[in-house]
Structure 1
């Protein structure tokens, strides 16, 4: 049973059978904006959301960032599926538009925090996007084994007026990885700004 993430929630990376998650996927699914035309028709406006991941050491220094600009981490533990520039143009197909995979066993020993965040590349307001959800699951980008947690951002009024948000942070404690759900919009306009915001406020 997937957990519906709430802000500030901290969870252990345990599957339903009690074993620890070692490989996870963070998938983001969103739709194109619908606008009414002059003559009553509906036009679809592409939405370019960017899922990214920033890695920090124990001193909170940013040591790596994975995004549409760099699809693999230096240690090869984190992989990005590639840039989706439009979102679902024909309604929700139930599939993730962008997926970032993380293998905890391959992470650099210096990695202490792994933060996930989203930026609206064209500055489109989250409130105008018909649906946008994030889920953390075990499996592959093409095959979901078990959904671990999920978060709906399109229907959260706190995201109105925002174009960037911090999903959450995986953090290491006593050599075990846990997850802290942040779920907070930011004032950032660019990916690089969000990396700094996380560093200053969310680790």
Structure 2
């Protein structure tokens, strides 16, 4: 299991971080130049020359039980408060307007905070390399969270993650009385399967719950 960081890299309310809208964009952009296998092994390595990075949002209740998982296999939660804009298989299949450093994100999940059901108290933002290659395999790339007014809360450089990292708990949102609280985690996970990664995060969130006083 992953080891929790002693102090979050960033932790504050969304208002304090300068996010003025209740629509958030969890997004990914990267450049990747695949290496093409040659010779007799080519047909056995057809997936090893490309890196496919996927984003996911996991919705938990106050007991840190998974209530919904929004990812490339399920593009919306039950309440349609979190919406995946569609899977990008290699970061280059969105057209010229969605290349790295271009106007559009290559992969994006939208969170409509005012629509999130009241029983959801935690939201985890996760990224995973589908074929298991480390994020370091990209030429350049970043994951960020912003609102739809263009205010950015954070940006994570994929090249600065640990060398063997292929799944990471990027950040979490915690519901508060008048706002949501954001914590940037950047915590490597031990499994790049998004469903298993969501369970790992559930375990870490539960460990941080207050201990009942009996």
TM-score normalized with structure 2 length: 0.77
Task: State the aligned residue count.
Answer: 186
**Uncovered stretches (5+) of structure 2, i.e. residues with no partner:** 1-6, 39-48, 207-214
The equivalent residue for 1:10 is 11
Structure 1: how far apart are the matches of 2:14 and 2:56? 20
1:194 is paired with a residue whose SS is: helix
**Which structure has more helix as a fraction of its residues?**
2
Q: Deviations over 1:92-142 (max 9, x none)?
A: 343321110011110111000011101100111111111221111121xxx
Residue 20 of structure 1 and its aligned partner are, at CA, apart by 4.4
The equivalent residue for 1:196 is 199
Q: Deviations over 1:164-185 (max 9, x none)?
A: 0011001012242110110111
2:195 is paired with a residue whose SS is: helix
The equivalent residue for 2:121 is 112
The equivalent residue for 1:185 is 188
Structure 2: how far apart are the matches of 1:36 and 1:152? 28
* Residue 172, structure 1, aligned to residue 187, structure 2: no
* Residue 147, structure 1, aligned to residue 151, structure 2: yes
Q: Which moved more, 1:185-194 or 1:53-62?
A: 185-194
Q: Which moved more, 1:19-28 or 1:52-61?
A: 19-28
Aligned-residue RMSD, C-alpha: 2.6
Q: Deviations over 1:9-39 (max 9, x none)?
A: 10211278x774311111111222444888x
TM-score normalized with structure 1 length: 0.81
Q: Is the Cα–Cα contact under 8 Å of residues 57 and 111 in structure 1 kept in the other structure?
A: yes
122, 138, 146: which one pairs with 1:129?
Answer: 138
1:159 is paired with a residue whose SS is: coil
Structure 2: how far apart are the matches of 1:166 and 1:199? 11
Q: Would the alpha carbon gap of residues 171 and 138 (structure 1) be closer, same or farther in structure 2, given more than 3 Å must change?
A: same
The equivalent residue for 1:142 is none
110, 114, 117: which one pairs with 1:101?
Answer: 110
Structure 1: how far apart are the matches of 2:184 and 2:59? 16
The equivalent residue for 2:78 is 74
58, 64, 83: which one pairs with 2:62?
Answer: 58
Q: Would the alpha carbon gap of residues 110 and 175 (structure 1) be closer, same or farther in structure 2, given more than 3 Å must change?
A: farther
2:150 is paired with a residue whose SS is: strand
**Uncovered stretches (5+) of structure 1, i.e. residues with no partner:** 1-5, 39-44, 140-144
Larger radius of gyration: 2
Q: Is the Cα–Cα contact under 8 Å of residues 51 and 137 in structure 2 kept in the other structure?
A: no
Q: Deviations over 1:37-72 (max 9, x none)?
A: 88xxxxxx4321110000000111110110000001
